[in-house]
Amino acid sequence: MADTDVLTGRRAFIRAAGTAVAAPVLSFGGGAFAAGAFAAVAPNGGSTADASFHSVVFPPPPLAKQPFQLLPTGAIKPTGWLRRQLQVQADGLGGHLDETWPDVGPDSGWLGGKGESWERGPYFLDGLLPLAWQLDSEPLKSKARRFIDWTLDHPWPDGMFGPRGNDDWWPRMVMLKVLTQFHELTGDARVIPLMTNYFVHQLQALPARPLRDWGRMRWQDELVSVVWLYSRTSDPRLLELAKLLQAQGYDWQGMFANFPFKAKVDPEAIKKEAGAGDAFMEDIGLQVHGVNNAQALKASPVWSQVSGKTADREAVHHQLAMLDQYHGLPNGMFSADEHLAGRNPSQGVELCAVVEAMYSLELALAITGDAAIGDRLERIAFNALPGTFTDDMWAHQYDQQPNQVESSLHRRPWTTNGPEANLFGLDPHFGCCTANFHQGWPKFTASLWMATADGGLAAAAYAPCEVATTVRGVPLRLEQATDYPFRQQVRITLHPESPVAFPLRLRIPGWSPRTAIKVNGQSVAAAAPGSFATVERSWKAGDTVELAFDAHPVAEAGFNGSHSFTFGALVFSLPIRENWVRWRKRGLTADWQVYPGSRWNYGVSAGARAVASEHALPVSPFAGPPPLTLAVEGRPVPAWKAEEGAADPVPAQPKAAVDEPATILTLVPYAVAKLRITSFPVIASPS
Ligand SMILES: [Zn+2]
């Protein structure tokens, strides 16, 4: 089939229909920047900058040692395709949401207005802020600063902060994440006093006004900011607060130690709980809530910083294993179309869960040093994240499906979400994802490289970027040139101001059996797949490190014995011809339905082998045409149908059509196909 036509057709249609009123123009910042680009920006309000705010800070004793630490926000700038992707975000809703969505508009409670005063302002800022600095965009910086200045300049007399319209702990947990990033970018001297006053207030208030509902399930996200502040002030009251948050917070580790939720959640049970009033917020509806579970992936590693226990640090692996075993999807996520939904690839996963899982894994990778978490992070970042947006990032889905044969208002097999949940639009189903998606790409960018506890640097995930940091007291710039994950070569060039010896750690993905590493053209020993290779030497300006990964097409077994195909960090899907229909106009953007225009019910044979082909890298690689395709033989499976716009669960061992020939299916990266089959039934062998 002519998959190129399908893809060209979609873009042409979107262009013709004018979804993006303010037609985004891709700008190609060459990505070159001087170390001076990281110099402090003078904070507003006449305040001064704290000293060495852009240094790497590891948690001090008695907090546990950890192998890696994130570099300060702003130390890593995107280049190459990643910069172009972030520019797409900025040219789409990422940079314009406040102009078209009142919830983060001029009347936001986080600007002192009477509008939305809960989580949406902080969610938006959590991504807008790092995006603005990564692109060095003055208009976006000033958008972000308005919210932050209002927040920093309007604390309550008792130490609380934020809009006076509510005193909920939860939205403040999000804003704390924003303030820590802002301090790392600017050293603004208002941040640390405000956070200290707030935590002292909370320490004395929590016994009488304990964590509840969302805040109780998401306590670990606040703990990240508490540890951040302790690492800068060593105020012993912060350790007391850390322990109180854990004591009042939900016991995620306990839930997964004996994991009871092994099947698609029954919506009737949820409704019954909801009917019981407040019990809903304390019980099953929150335990099996997808976004809560995504945020909970950081709970044990972050708590291990305080407890010092190896068992806490390692618990995240069991958590991931349970989610994979009972709810795993081929795009790297677990199903949760609001609530955990089993392994059927026609179930959905919410965009908030995607970006929150990424953020959790970024922290878990730093705290555990486990290379497999980097593999997982990349699978989500390169597949599930871009796979749920339109190419121009002016519209997104609430729920995406790995087997997504239609995006329409038909009823879906969701646990509890509504009929709009997999439309592409401004705020389909509910606006949390509209506010929260912004952190996905910028925080991924910010975690590509990390500092190591022994004074070196670690490549945690791969994408084109530049790093400016200080290693063992020596200012150092590093360029990482690559078209990964669409190509398998990475070239790193180091520019220390003067020669400096330190270990460089390079993540070797679990799927790369024979990785080649060269330093200045000379081969060095690689490490086992799924670990970090270490190159320790004296580095001087112009030294290069070249990596060549060894990716192969792999058929992974999934739900009902189905097969999904991967090549390195990318998951591949059969694209279905897309007919985009604008349902309604929404300010600067629109809500869309997408109907299938080609056959999708194909199966593959057991042992089917896929063959990879490279094609030119387009400007926006997730928008197509595909820079990499896999060819695999498939056969029509007429009994596999769709009901109400959702593909039936992949049948186990179906029969192939007897009167139709086998055909070569051209699979494209998951995110390139907005209608797609990702899990293929494995056809019964003729008896
Ligand atoms: Zn959401």
- Give tens-digit pLDDT for 611-667: 999 999 999 999 999 999 999 999 999 999 999 999 999 999 999 999 999 999 999
Token pair for residue 155? 């604390």
Report the separation in Å between the CA atom of 573 and the middle of ligand 1, taken as the mean of its atom positions.
Answer: 24
Nearest to 225 by CA among 166, 165, 182: 182
pLDDT of residue 20: 32
Report the separation in Å between the CA atom of 590 and the middle of ligand 1, taken as the mean of its atom positions.
Answer: 18
Measured at the alpha carbon of residue 436, what is the angle toward residues 221 and 571, in degrees to the nearest 5? 95
Residue 346 has pLDDT above 90, yes or no: yes
- Rounded to an integer, the average pLDDT of 324-330 is 98
Report the separation in Å between the CA atom of 429 and the middle of ligand 1, taken as the mean of its atom positions.
Answer: 9
User: Mean pLDDT, the chain, as a whole number?
Assistant: 92
Report the separation in Å between the CA atom of 662 and the middle of ligand 1, taken as the mean of its atom positions.
Answer: 41
Q: How many residues does the chain have?
A: 687
Report the separation in Å between the CA atom of 684 and the middle of ligand 1, taken as the mean of its atom positions.
Answer: 39
Residue in the block written with tokens 């509504």 = 418
Residue 29 has pLDDT above 70, yes or no: no
- Residue 28 binned pLDDT confidence (cut-offs 50, 70, 90): very low
Nearest to 346 by CA among 683, 578, 581, 651: 651
DSSP bridge partners of 389: 396
Report the separation in Å between the CA atom of 245 and the middle of ligand 1, taken as the mean of its atom positions.
Answer: 24
Name the DSSP letter for residue 556.
E
Instruction: Please spell the DSSP secondary structure of 253-274, one letter per residue.
Output: HHHHHT----S---HHHHHHHH
Instruction: Please spell the DSSP secondary structure of 421-457, one letter per residue.
Output: TTSBBSSSS-THHHHHGGGHHHHHHHTSEEEETTS-E
pLDDT of residue 269: 79
Report the separation in Å between the CA atom of 125 and the middle of ligand 1, taken as the mean of its atom positions.
Answer: 15
Report the separation in Å between the CA atom of 166 and the middle of ligand 1, taken as the mean of its atom positions.
Answer: 21
Q: What are phi and psi of 221, to 5 degrees?
A: -70, -35
- Rounded to an integer, the average pLDDT of 397-412 is 95
Instruction: Please spell the DSSP secondary structure of 395-406, one letter per residue.
Output: -B-SEE-SSB--
Report the separation in Å between the CA atom of 65 and the middle of ligand 1, taken as the mean of its atom positions.
Answer: 34
Report the separation in Å between the CA atom of 435 and the middle of ligand 1, taken as the mean of its atom positions.
Answer: 8
Report the separation in Å between the CA atom of 584 and the middle of ligand 1, taken as the mean of its atom positions.
Answer: 21
- What would the pLDDT profile of 223-259 be if each residue is shown by its tens digit? 999 999 999 999 999 999 999 999 999 999 999 999 9
pLDDT of residue 687: 58
pLDDT of residue 282: 55
Report the separation in Å between the CA atom of 399 and the middle of ligand 1, taken as the mean of its atom positions.
Answer: 9
Alpha carbons 180 and 192: distance in angstroms, whole number: 9
Report the separation in Å between the CA atom of 290 and the middle of ligand 1, taken as the mean of its atom positions.
Answer: 9
- Rounded to an integer, the average pLDDT of 369-392 is 98
Q: Which one is predicted more confidently, 2 or 469? A: 469
Flag the least confident range among 202-206, 487-491, 657-661: 657-661
**What angle in degrees, to the nearest 10, is found between the helix axes of 169-186 and 138-153?**
120
Token pair for residue 345? 């690839």
Residue 366 CB neighbours (<10 A) = 22
pLDDT of residue 268: 83
> The whole model's pTM is what?
0.93
Report the separation in Å between the CA atom of 679 and the middle of ligand 1, taken as the mean of its atom positions.
Answer: 25
Flag the least confident range among 75-79, 316-320, 505-509, 525-529: 525-529
DSSP bridge partners of 629: 613
- What would the pLDDT profile of 347-362 be if each residue is shown by its tens digit? 999 999 999 999 999 9
Residue type, 148: I
Report the separation in Å between the CA atom of 428 and the middle of ligand 1, taken as the mean of its atom positions.
Answer: 10
- What would the pLDDT profile of 91-102 be if each residue is shown by its tens digit? 999 999 999 999
For 621, residues 6+ apart whose C-beta sits below 8 A from its C-beta are 81, 483, 486, 627, 669
- What would the pLDDT profile of 146-163 be if each residue is shown by its tens digit? 999 999 999 999 999 999
Report the separation in Å between the CA atom of 632 and the middle of ligand 1, taken as the mean of its atom positions.
Answer: 35
Alpha carbons 253 and 280: distance in angstroms, whole number: 21
Report the separation in Å between the CA atom of 349 and the middle of ligand 1, taken as the mean of its atom positions.
Answer: 10
Report the separation in Å between the CA atom of 337 and the middle of ligand 1, taken as the mean of its atom positions.
Answer: 10
Determine how β-strand 516-519 pairs with β-strand 544-548. Answer: antiparallel
pLDDT over 70, % of the chain: 92
Nearest to 571 by CA among 453, 682, 477, 668: 668
Determine how β-strand 457-459 pairs with β-strand 500-508. Answer: parallel
Report the separation in Å between the CA atom of 339 and the middle of ligand 1, taken as the mean of its atom positions.
Answer: 12
Q: What are phi and psi of 683, to 5 degrees?
A: -70, 140
Report the separation in Å between the CA atom of 355 and the middle of ligand 1, taken as the mean of its atom positions.
Answer: 9
